[in-house]
Every structure is written in structure tokens, then in C-alpha cells.
Amino acid sequence: MENPQTDPNMSSRHDCFSGDNKLATNKALTSSVDDNPRATKLEHNSYTVGWVCALPKEQTAATAMLDEIHPHLPKPASDLNTYTLGCIGRHNIVIACLPKGQYGTNSASAVATRMVGTFPSIKVGLLVGIGGGIPPKVRLGDVVIGTPVGQCSGVVQWDLGKAEAEGGFKRTGVLNNPPTALLTALTKLETMHEMSGPKIYQYLDDMGQKWPRLMPKYTRCDSLVDPLSGSDNCARESQHGEGHVHYGLIASGNQVIKDAHFRDNLNKSLGGNVLCVEMEAAGLMNNFPCVVIRGICDYADSDKTKAWQEYAAAVAAAYAKELLEYVQPSDVDGERPVKDMLGDVELRQKRRT
């Protein structure tokens, strides 16, 4: 993810709508549930999938991908998160977004911890949104999924470690792998993509029909220009097929990267295997078992642009929706509740002290 502040050393990440339009959209989402007496209302224990976003535009894309939006449920006063509840296929899902203006690994960890406290049956997680791609392997509008590479879990925290002699830096700490239920589904989905292509763009069309106000930014790429190609992304798609899906290493850290030289050196230091950089994943992997899904909105260089952010958020959310089609509810049931895993972590920490 990237930070929306206007400071020259920070990347730009703003709301996708003006204040009035955003309020109208939120009212529409709320009324579609609260005014519908047939809307499904479940209990807290009915929700087994947690979906975390860092930006309002990522939350918009996630909400628009739900098959059904459920009514709100009460939460403890100590839980400062705001939730959107719904379902995709046979999975009941809790969506939460980081507080406005608060990004990075610590904020992501806090949101996820509060989520599993309120919804104790959550067993698997998704971290879905935008990220910076590493060219030439990855292009704007592509989707990157963090999956295990060698000894890495699929996500590496590049800014956690210790300084060594002569300016060296040794990375420390190990991040957990994504849940087995999700990794198994990823292998099946990758095969189906090879055979028949992704459903991402079908889901974007469905989004545009269901939520027409989102079409100009979230579902269309004809006006988006990729600075590395000199042509729009749609021209690339017509020549080489639709945007690509990549599986591999994601580098996560609390520092915004907007320098091509730094980006390339970071990639080199990690064996040249990095596909994407972002800011939240490292805060979740060890206490919120999840798959990280990133739509590519820039190249983590000085030419950062906001133009691709909504579209990138949408393709990432569409991939997440398709992934859930291949996740069997029985496999999710076989995973351990995240809340119990957090309890084990806290117990180990107490023993150390």
C-alpha cells in the first residue's frame, strides 16, 4: 500500500469520491441493507473469513464484490473498527478498513486483532488492495499474490533487521505461511486460469452493472496510460491478453518506496524475486493468517500516479472473489480460529517476560 499524503516523500492515496459523493454512496450501501427486510442477519460466530483493507477505495471495491450485504452486528466498545458484513458464495465475510490516515504494519495488526476479537470464528484472512509493481515482470493493472518462495512465506518484511559492519543490514524474523486452505485453493485457481482464463473482468462487468457509479474509475481502463509502454493498458490487453496474475514474493515495510534505484536494489538484495512492494502485509502474517492480494497501481518510483488506484483495487478484489469460489467451507472449518492462535502468541510472550 502507499500513503496518500501530499508530502513529496510520501505517495498519494486519496478517497475515490468527494465528501458529498462518498456520503451518498455510504448511505446507498446502508439503505440497501437496512431497508431490505429480507437481508440476511447472522450471528458473530457465522463469519469465518476476515478481509482487511488499508484504504477507503479498497474497501469500496471489496464491498462491491459481495454477493449480499448483511445487516450490522453490535460490537464491544473497545473495538474501534467499523465493519461491512456480507457473503461471497458460501463464505460469510467481515470487511474492515484501517483508520483514515493510519497505514503500515502496526495499524494493520491492530485492526486484525480487534476483528478476530469481535468475530471469534474467523479462521482465514485476506489482505486485499493496491501495491507498487517491480518492472518489467509486473505491469500496471496486474494482480500479485504473495505465495511461498524458497524459505520465504510469500511476504518478507524488508525493513526489519539489524545493522552490521560496513553499512550492512541483516534481515531478521520469519513470517508465517498463508493458511493451507487458501494455498490449496490457489493451486486449483492457477490451473483454471491456465485452462480458461480468469473471471476478474467478468466480475468487473458485474460490479459496473450493480454499482454503476463505480464504473468510470473502478471498471474501465481505456483512459489509463502505462508510462512504461506509452499506450493504455487496454491496448496491452488486446495484444497480449488480459492483465496478468503473478504468484511470488511481496516485500512489505513501513516506508513508502518511490525511488526506482532503491526499489531495484531492494529487489536485488532479495534475490531478484520481488514482484510487489506494499506497507501492511508484514503486520498480519504472524497473527492473522492470510493471503495478500495486490493490484498494481504504480511502479514504486518517482512517476507515481493516483490514476490507477481504483482500477487496481478493483482487480485485486475481483481476484479475491474468484479465489473464494475455490475455497471449500469444509477446508476453512478445518483451520484453527485466529483468536486461539493469538492467545497462544500472547501466552508465549508472557512466558518470555
**Higher per-residue pLDDT: 227 or 120:** 120
19-352 CATH choice from 1.10.760.10, 3.40.50.1580, 3.30.420.40, 3.40.50.300? 3.40.50.1580
State the pLDDT at residue 20: 40
Please state the pTM of the whole predicted model. 0.84
For residue range 118-142, list pLDDT tens digits in order: 999 999 999 999 999 999 999 999 9
Whether pLDDT at 169 is above 80: no
Amino acid occupying residue 13? R
The domain ranges of the chain are: 19-352
Lowest pLDDT segment from 128-132, 174-178, 289-293, 295-299: 174-178
Q: What is the pLDDT of residue 332?
A: 95
Average pLDDT score over residue span 163-181: 72
The three-state (H, E, C) secondary structure of the chain, written as one string? CCCCCCCCCCCCCCCCCCHHHHHHHHHHHHHHHHCCCCCCCCCHHHCCEEEEECCHHHHHHHHHCCCEEECCCCCCCCCCCCEEEEEECCEEEEEEECCCCCCCHHHHHHHHHHHHHHCCCCCEEEEEEEEEECCCCCCCCCEEEECCECCECCEEECCCEEECHHHCEEECCCCCCCCHHHHHHHHHHHHHHHHHCCCHHHHHHHHHHHCHHHHHHHHCCCCCEECCCCEEHHHHHHHHCCCCEEEEEEEECCCCCCCHHHHHHHHHHCCCCEEEEECCHHHCCCCCCEEEEEEEEECCCCCCCCCCHHHHHHHHHHHHHHHHHCCCHHHHHCCCCHHHHHHHHHHHHHHHC
240-257 average pLDDT score? 85
Instruction: Say if residue 2's pLDDT is above 80.
Output: no
